[in-house]
Amino acid sequence: MLKRHDIPVKLILTGELVFHLHYGINARKWWEKQTIENTPGVNFLIPIRVGMKTQVELNNRVFTIQVTENFGSPGYVCQSEQLSSDIENSPIQAICKLYQQIFKNSTRYSGNLVFGLENKNITDQLLVDIPFRPFIIQVDKFSIIIYSLGVSAKEGYLGAGSGYTSSFIHKYSQKRCIFIQKIRESDCIIQIWYENVQLFKYVDLAVDQVFLKDLYHSGFLSPHPSDIQHPAEIFWNCFAESYKKNKNSADGKCRILSIIAQEFTYHDLQEKLGISFHSINFARKFARINGPGCAPLQKIKVSRNSRLIQKMQDQFEIFFQDKANVTISSYKVDPKTGLPILYLLDQKQIYGNDFLKPI
């Protein structure tokens, strides 16, 4: 159950802005939308400062949440008395996991609420001394974050000047990438990044609106497939057709899917092939055991025969006919066979001593 009632939150440490984080490639991870007092059509952002720390009381117990850098992204650590969470990707994960560990229930709280980002007094303190407050604008289907602005009277620049930086997220080469646009004194840049790796860079002396149109019409920026089919699309279409035509078995669909199951994410495979999480998981196990696309290993067949061979039967009869091993009952017989009941002689102490001997 997600709780959203008013919770008093206290800002313990303001933290600091780190330029390469808050205005760099992964800047959008370090800013959150403001949910209070936003201007219609424009979403102003609140910084997630490195080292900032807030305190909240839940169920008569004090919790603190602190921000740390986690491989270029914000990480959140929640503490309560001597207990501490792991570094999590969001405040809601950090506090809910520790809360559930302490109180043994599934209660959930809004991350921004318990972190203080819905508290105006806290957000006002976080906005002090920032060089530029980023904001989001909506252009068609793209949410564009503006990180800095510059003014210019240059023809074709539409008023923008040196210092302008913006970014948006869209697919490029079948990956969700960050598109960064910059205007500098002498040129303009468009970069495409994926997980801190630059996949593409375009530099020109003027704002290249034609280039953006070319990307759009080539299918990179278009939300709908273009007439020109990208090689990646050809691959996915062919693979989906092959997967569809194979039988639903370990040597069919599972074997085909195992070729690429470990090379793509669950999200990509589900989106491109329309298959279930279970099918992907089974194909990954298949690839680890048999190899990607390899024939399934033959299972060893174990045959069990409960019948005794003649030699074993002879030994069995000899053992039970020996009066040194058994004694015959004088009055009891087996109801099925009519044969007298045999009792093993008392050898428990002897056997026990044998078992206790060191090997």
CATH of the domain at 9: 3.30.160.360
The answer to whether the Cα torsion of 161, 167, 170, 172 is positive or negative is: positive
Given this model, what pLDDT does residue 159 score?
55
Given this model, what pLDDT does residue 354 score?
47
User: Among 165, 187, 217, which residue terminates a domain?
Assistant: 217
Residues 179 and 211 in one domain: yes
Q: What percent of the chain has pLDDT over 70?
A: 79
User: Alpha helices, DSSP H only, in the chain?
Assistant: 19-22, 91-103, 111-115, 120-126, 209-217, 231-245, 253-257, 266-273, 277-290, 310-321, 348-356
Q: How confident is residue 152, by pLDDT bands cut at 50, 70 and 90? A: low
Q: Is pLDDT of 218 > 70?
A: no
Residues 205 and 235 in one domain: no
Let me know if residue 224 belongs to a domain. no
Which of 50, 38, 29, 13 minimizes the C-alpha distance to 147? 29
Given this model, what pLDDT does residue 228 score?
44
Let me know if residue 11 belongs to a domain. yes
Given this model, what pLDDT does residue 50 score?
95
Tell me the residue type at 195.
E
Residues 162 and 101 in one domain: no
Q: How confident is residue 282, by pLDDT bands cut at 50, 70 and 90? A: confident
Model confidence over 2-60: pLDDT tens digits?
Answer: 445 568 899 999 999 999 999 988 899 999 987 665 556 678 899 999 999 999 998 88
Residues 119 and 160 in one domain: no
Count of domains observed in the chain? 4
Where on the phi/psi map is residue 110: left (φ > 0), alpha (ψ -120 to 50), or beta? beta
Q: Is the pLDDT higher at 256 or at 308? A: 256
Given this model, what pLDDT does residue 38 score?
56
Let me know if residue 350 belongs to a domain. yes
Given this model, what pLDDT does residue 225 score?
40
Burial of 141 (C-beta count, 10 Å sphere; 0-12/13-18/19+): exposed
Q: How far is the C-alpha of 116 from the C-alpha of 53, rounded, in Å? A: 10
Given this model, what pLDDT does residue 230 score?
57
The residue written with tokens 């602190």 in the block is: 66
The residue written with tokens 């025969």 in the block is: 305
Tell me what the mean pLDDT of segment 84-109 comes to: 87
Residues 170 and 252 in one domain: no
What do you get for the CA distance between the two ends of the chain, in Å? 60
Residues 58 and 120 in one domain: yes
Q: Is the pLDDT higher at 219 or at 119? A: 119
Let me know if residue 305 belongs to a domain. no
Tell me the residue type at 240.
A
The answer to whether the Cα torsion of 199, 202, 208, 213 is positive or negative is: negative
Q: Rounded mean pLDDT of the chain?
A: 79
Given this model, what pLDDT does residue 207 score?
57
Q: How far is the C-alpha of 337 from the C-alpha of 320, rounded, in Å? A: 16
* Two tokens, residue 60: 């008569």
The residue written with tokens 């040194």 in the block is: 324
Q: Is the pLDDT higher at 297 or at 182? A: 182
Let me know if residue 343 belongs to a domain. yes
Residues 236 and 211 in one domain: no
Q: How confident is residue 158, by pLDDT bands cut at 50, 70 and 90? A: low
Count how many residues are written for the chain. Answer: 359
The residue written with tokens 């559930």 in the block is: 100
Residues 28 and 59 in one domain: yes
Count Cα atoms within 13 angstroms, Cβ side, for 15: 23
User: Among 191, 217, 243, which residue terminates a domain?
Assistant: 217
User: How does 243-266 read in b/e, with b if 16+ C-beta sit within 10 Å?
Assistant: beeeeeeeeebbbbbbbbbeebee
Given this model, what pLDDT does residue 355 score?
41
Let me know if residue 110 belongs to a domain. yes
Residues 196 and 238 in one domain: no
Using DSSP's 3-state secondary structure scheme, residue 283 falls into: helix
Residues 21 and 98 in one domain: yes
Q: Is pLDDT of 222 > 50?
A: no
Phi and psi for 268 in degrees, rounded to 5? Answer: -65, -45
Residues 169 and 282 in one domain: no
Return the minimum-mean-pLDDT range out of 65-74, 98-107, 178-187, 298-307.
298-307
Which domain, by its residues, includes 265?
231-290
Q: Is pLDDT of 131 > 70?
A: yes
Q: Is pLDDT of 176 > 50?
A: yes
Phi and psi for 103 in degrees, rounded to 5? Answer: -100, -5
Given this model, what pLDDT does residue 226 score?
44
Model confidence over 224-265: pLDDT tens digits?
Answer: 444 445 567 777 888 888 888 888 887 788 888 888 888 888
Let me know if residue 299 belongs to a domain. no
Given this model, what pLDDT does residue 232 score?
72
Q: Name 201's bridge partners.
A: 191
Q: Name 32's bridge partners.
A: 46
Confidence (pTM)? 0.55
Let me know if residue 296 belongs to a domain. no
Given this model, what pLDDT does residue 252 score?
84
